[in-house]
C-alpha cells in the first residue's frame, strides 16, 4: 500500500463508548457491516496503513470485544477504561503501549468504520512532512450540529471547539472534527497527561491537545476527508447508512474488477467476496462471507451464497442456495431451488432443479435429477454421500447416507438408495408398478348410490 512513511506507528483504537443508542445487548463495535464487525473494519484499515502495533481501549466488562480483538490481532494490547471520562482519558488507558515509544500515534474510533487506509496514511504523512505535534482529520459537514469545530488559521489548527463549548460564531463553522487524529508519538504522552477538564462536560477532551500544542508553539495541521468516509455509527439508522456506503464501495470494486452487476444496488456483497472477470451477477443476489467466484460465472437472480468456491464458467440459480464448505468446479450448473452444503461438485456436474445436496462428493459430469435429496442426517449424526463421475441420478431419488454410488451408475427415478451401488450398474429401488384392469370403474360403480 503506497510508500508508507518509514516511521514506527502505534494505533490506539477507542471502543469504550457505551453505545446505548444501538438498543442492543451486543456491544456497538461488534455490529456487522458487510459480514465483518465495525471493529474488524477499523482494525483492517489501520493495519493496511502500515501500523506496527494496535492497542485497543474497551469499557469495563467488555470481554466480548476483547475476545473479538484477540481473534483479529493476536498479541495486541488491550486496556480497560474503567470510568468513561472522555476521549483523552480513553487514550491514556493505553498509556503503557504509548510509553513503549513510537514516532506516530494514531487515535481512531472503532465506531467510525469507513475510514480508508489511505486516509490514515495521509495523517501520518502530514505529521512527518509538517513536523506537527498534532494532525486532526476534518470534514465539511452538511449539518455540523454535535461535532467539534475546527478553528483554523491558515494551514494551522488553533483549536478544536466542542459544540457545547462553542460560541454562536464558532457554531457557524462547518469544518468539523472527525475525531481521529495523528500525534507525534514522542511528545503525545506528555501533552495528553496535561489535558484538563475545564469544559462544559467536565471531560478530558482529546480535542484539547490542539490548543495545548499551540500554546507551546508546536505545529498543528488538518487533513480533510469526505464526510461519508468519517461517518460515525451511534444507532441502527447510521449503521444502515454505513452498510449502504460500504456496499457501494464493494460493488464498485467488483465492477472495476470485471464483474457485471446488472442491478448493482440489489446485490449484497461481503467484505471478502472475490469475483473474477466476466462474472455476471443478476439482481437480488446475496453474498455472505467466504465466497470466491472464478471467471466467466453467471449467478442468476435471487441466489444466496456463503463459504463457497465457484469454478470458472459455472452457472448458478436463479433461486439457488450455496452453503459453507462447498466447492463447485468448472462448468457446474446449479439451478432453481437447489441447496448445496459442504459438498464438492466436480467439473460439469448438473443439479438443475429442486434438490438438497449435503455432505456429498459428486464426480465430474454426473447429472443429479430434479428432486434428488441426500439424506445426510439421522437426527444425531451427519453422513456422507459419494457419487462417482458420469453417473445419472434419476428424478426424485433419496440417497440415504452413508452411501457410495460408483462411476457411471444409473439410479432409476424415485429410488430410495440405502446400499452402495457398483460402477455402471442400474439400480431401481422402488416398488414395482402393479396394474389392476377395470379396478377403478368397479370401485366407482360399487360406491354409486
Residue carrying the nine cell digits 478544536:
160
Nearer to ligand UD1, 17 or 317 (CB): 17
- β-pairing verdict for 274-275 and 175-184: unpaired
Grouping H, G, I as helix, E, B as strand and the rest as coil, residue 283 is coil
Query: x/- binding map, residues 184-223, to Ca ion, per CB under 5 A?
Result: ----------------------------------------
Q: In the chain, what is the straight-line distance between the N-terminal and C-terminal CA atoms, in Å?
A: 88
Give φ, ψ of 92 to 5 degrees: -70, -15
109 forms part of the interface with ligand UD1 (CB under 6 A):
yes
90 forms part of the interface with ligand UD1 (CB under 6 A):
yes
Q: Which of 31, 89, 304, 353 does the annotation list as catalytic?
A: 353
Cβ pair 340, 349 in contact under 8 A = no
5 forms part of the interface with Ca ion (CB under 5 A):
no
CB of 146 to Ca ion, least distance (A): 8
179 forms part of the interface with ligand UD1 (CB under 6 A):
yes
* Binding test (CB under 5 A) with Ca ion, winner from 5, 232, 307, 412: 232
Nine cell digits for residue 350:
448438473
Choose one: 207-215, 227-235, 326-334, 385-393; the region binding Ca ion (CB under 5 A).
227-235
The one of ligand UD1, Ca ion, none whose footprint includes residue 15, by CB under 5 to 8 A per kind, is ligand UD1
Tell me if residue 353 is catalytic: yes
Q: Measured between alpha carbons, how far is residue 449 from residues 86, 109, 240, 439, 443 in Å?
A: 90, 84, 68, 18, 12
| Integer Cα distance of 239 and 187 in angstroms | 36
57 forms part of the interface with ligand UD1 (CB under 6 A):
yes
102 forms part of the interface with ligand UD1 (CB under 6 A):
no
The one of ligand UD1, Ca ion, none whose footprint includes residue 104, by CB under 5 to 8 A per kind, is none
Nearer to Ca ion, 232 or 325 (CB): 232
Indicate the residue whose CB is closest to ligand UD1: 148
Cβ pair 205, 162 in contact under 8 A = yes
| Integer Cα distance of 99 and 105 in angstroms | 11
Number of residues that bind ligand UD1 (CB under 6 A): 27
Q: 152-155: long-range contacts (C-beta < 8 A, 24 or more apart)? A: 152/222, 155/130, 155/221, 155/222
21 forms part of the interface with Ca ion (CB under 5 A):
no
Of residues 177, 46, 180, the one with CA closest to residue 118: 46
| Integer Cα distance of 41 and 146 in angstroms | 24
43 forms part of the interface with ligand UD1 (CB under 6 A):
no
* Binding test (CB under 6 A) with ligand UD1, winner from 22, 125, 188, 206: 206
147 forms part of the interface with ligand UD1 (CB under 6 A):
yes
* Binding test (CB under 6 A) with ligand UD1, winner from 104, 111, 165, 306: 111
Nearer to ligand UD1, 165 or 331 (CB): 165
| Integer Cα distance of 182 and 135 in angstroms | 5
| Integer Cα distance of 58 and 64 in angstroms | 10
354 forms part of the interface with ligand UD1 (CB under 6 A):
no
Return the active site residues. Answer: 353
Which residues of the shown chain bind Ca ion in the complex (CB under 5 A)?
232
Which residues of the shown chain bind ligand UD1 in the complex (CB under 6 A)?
14-17, 57, 81, 84-87, 89-90, 109-111, 147-148, 160, 162, 176-179, 205-207, 232
Amino acid at each position: 500500500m503506497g510508500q508508507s512513511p518509514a516511521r514506527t506507528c502505534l494505533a490506539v483504537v477507542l471502543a469504550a463508548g457505551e453505545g446505548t443508542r444501538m438498543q442492543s445487548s451486543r456491544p456497538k463495535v461488534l455490529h456487522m457491516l458487510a459480514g465483518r464487525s465495525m471493529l474488524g473494519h477499523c482494525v483492517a484499515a489501520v493495519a493496511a496503513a502500515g501500523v506496527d502495533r494496535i492497542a485497543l481501549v474497551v469499557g469495563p466488562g467488555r470481554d466480548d470485544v476483547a475476545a473479538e480483538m484477540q481473534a483479529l490481532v493476536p498479541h495486541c494490547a488491550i486496556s480497560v477504561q474503567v470510568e468513561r471520562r472522555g476521549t483523552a482519558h480513553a487514550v491514556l488507558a493505553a498509556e503503557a503501549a504509548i510509553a513503549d515509544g513510537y514516532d506516530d500515534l494514531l487515535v481512531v474510533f472503532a465506531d467510525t468504520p469507513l475510514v480508508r487506509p489511505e486516509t490514515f496514511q495521509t495523517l501520518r504523512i502530514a505529521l512527518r512532512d509538517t513536523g506537527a505535534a498534532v494532525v486532526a482529520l476534518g470534514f465539511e459537514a452538511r449539518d455540523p450540529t454535535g461535532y467539534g469545530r475546527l478553528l483554523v488559521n491558515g494551514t494551522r489548527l488553533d483549536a478544536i471547539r466542542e459544540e457545547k463549548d462553542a460560541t454562536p460564531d464558532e457554531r457557524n463553522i462547518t469544518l468539523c472534527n472527525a475525531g481521529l487524529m495523528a500525534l507525534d508519538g514522542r511528545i503525545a504522552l506528555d501533552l495528553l497527561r496535561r489535558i484538563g477538564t475545564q469544559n462544559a462536560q467536565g471531560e478530558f477532551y482529546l480535542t484539547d491537545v490542539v490548543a495545548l500544542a499551540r500554546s507551546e508553539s508546536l505545529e498543528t495541521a488538518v487533513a480533510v476527508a469526505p464526510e461519508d468516509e468519517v461517518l460515525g455509527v451511534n444507532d441502527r439508522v447510521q449503521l444502515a447508512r454505513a452498510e449502504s456506503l460500504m456496499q457501494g464501495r464493494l460493488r464498485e470494486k467488483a465492477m472495476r474488477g470485471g464483474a457485471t452487476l446488472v442491478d448493482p444496488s440489489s446485490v449484497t456483497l461481503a467484505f471478502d467476496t472475490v469475483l473474477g472477470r466476466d462474472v455476471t451477477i443478476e439482481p437480488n443476489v446475496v453474498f455472505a462471507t467466504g465466497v470466491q467466484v472464478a471467471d466467466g460465472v453467471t449467478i442468476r437472480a435471487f441466489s444466496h451464497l456463503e463459504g463457497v468456491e465457484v469454478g470458472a464458467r459455472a452457472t448458478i440459480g436463479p433461486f439457488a442456495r450455496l452453503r459453507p464448505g462447498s466447492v463447485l468446479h468448472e462448468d457446474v450448473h446449479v439451478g432453481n431451488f437447489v441447496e448445496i452444503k459442504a459438498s464438492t461438485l466436480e467439473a460439469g456436474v448438473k443439479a438443475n432443479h429442486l434438490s438438497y445436496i449435503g455432505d456429498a462428493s459428486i464426480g465430474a459430469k454426473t447429472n443429479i435429477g430434479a428432486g434428488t435429496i441426500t439424506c445426510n442426517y439421522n437426527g444425531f449424526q451427519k453422513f456422507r454421500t459419494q457419487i462417482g463421475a458420469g453417473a445419472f441420478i434419476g428424478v426424485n431419488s433419496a440417497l440415504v447416507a452413508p452411501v457410495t454410488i460408483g462411476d457411471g451408475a444409473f439410479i432409476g427415478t424415485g429410488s430410495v438408495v440405502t446400499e452402495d451401488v457398483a460402477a455402471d450398474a442400474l439400480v431401481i429401488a422402488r416398488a414395482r408398478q402393479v396394474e389392476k384392469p377395470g379396478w377403478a370403474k368397479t370401485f366407482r360403480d360399487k360406491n354409486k348410490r
